[in-house]
Amino acid sequence: MKYKNLGRSGLSVSRLCLGTMNFGPQTDEVTSHSIMDSALSNGINFFDTANRYGGPKFGWTEEIIGRWFAQGGGRREKVVLATKLYGEMNEWPNNKWLSALNIRRAVDASLSRMQTEYIDLYQMHHIDRTTPWEEIWQAMEVLVAQGKILYVGSSNFAGWHIAQAQGAAAPRNFMGLISEQSIYNLAIRDIEREVIPASLECGLGILPWSPLNGGLLGGVLKKERDGKRRLEGRSKETLDRVRDRVESYENYCGEIGHEPGDVALAWLLHQPAVTAPIIGPRTQGQLDDSLRALTVELSNEQLAKLDEIWPGYKTSPEDYAW
């Protein structure tokens, strides 16, 4: 396993991050624990979750992680633990968004569910347009001083939100954000316009979620032909819209001798702003498949061909102006 500092921080994390969103609703607790054990044995030290994961039973996923930590064996000490807050946990007021009150309540609830004394990376799951940055940073500073969190990250922020957050943190002599978690993959590259440039300028590491774009980049056409996967609804509509590109992509992956999912993850690992793509295995087999990407080296020629199949964006304003 290779490791990289998360953004400008001194925190060393594995080049793949274990996403746990499926633990509970899709993957039972015994299997979830087995996957976490396997991830750790393969050197993955970076685990990501959120307080709403496990819905409709919010907090279920954090509870599963907590019972895994409780087994001991150095599990907690070996893991860089990331969770998130923002979404509504119940219908009562002040149990959502990023008010100082909700930040205080949410972190204590997550710590209790995960049976730990601290969270390594506490992430805001979405921008809060109703709470001033002075309030947010004051609340986060208190948590750092109390030893409940060590670092702060964002998720689903625009580039100007990142700049705004860092601008408000600097006068307080507070480190601010060290990471941004965004949807980013070969097929969806919108963050190349402004989020990635802002992150690079402000020293944030990018943590891409949905690295296979919901399976679209994971060999979906071959699985469809083999009868292993049948897409419906929005997923089918998306595939129908870009079927020619997906076909060209899968054919090219065959030419260079790699599975499509491995190439999609490897491409992200070749992007300079990316620290660790977030993989979300439902099964042990899916975790094993993801690990193969760490051995895939893509040449400049191959990267150029992938850009030809899945065009990206220039940095703004050059993307749309001279």
CA distance 153 to 68: 24
Of 47, 105, 52, 106, nearest to 81 by C-alpha is 47
Active-site annotation holds for 86: no
Could you please report the per-residue DSSP string of 169-200? HGGGT---EEEEEEE--SS--GGGTTHHHHHH
The residues pairing with 14 across neighbouring beta strands, listed in sequence order, are 3
* Catalytic residue, candidates 53, 86, 122, 184: 53
SS3 category, 102: helix
Give me the phi and psi of 218, to 5 degrees please. Answer: -105, 25
**25-34 long-range CB contacts below 8 Å, 24 or more apart?**
25/54, 25/55, 25/60, 26/282, 27/281, 27/282, 27/283, 29/64, 29/67, 31/283, 31/284, 32/64, 32/68, 33/64, 33/67, 33/68, 33/71, 34/284
CA 75 to chain centre: 21
- Tell me which residues are annotated as active site: 53
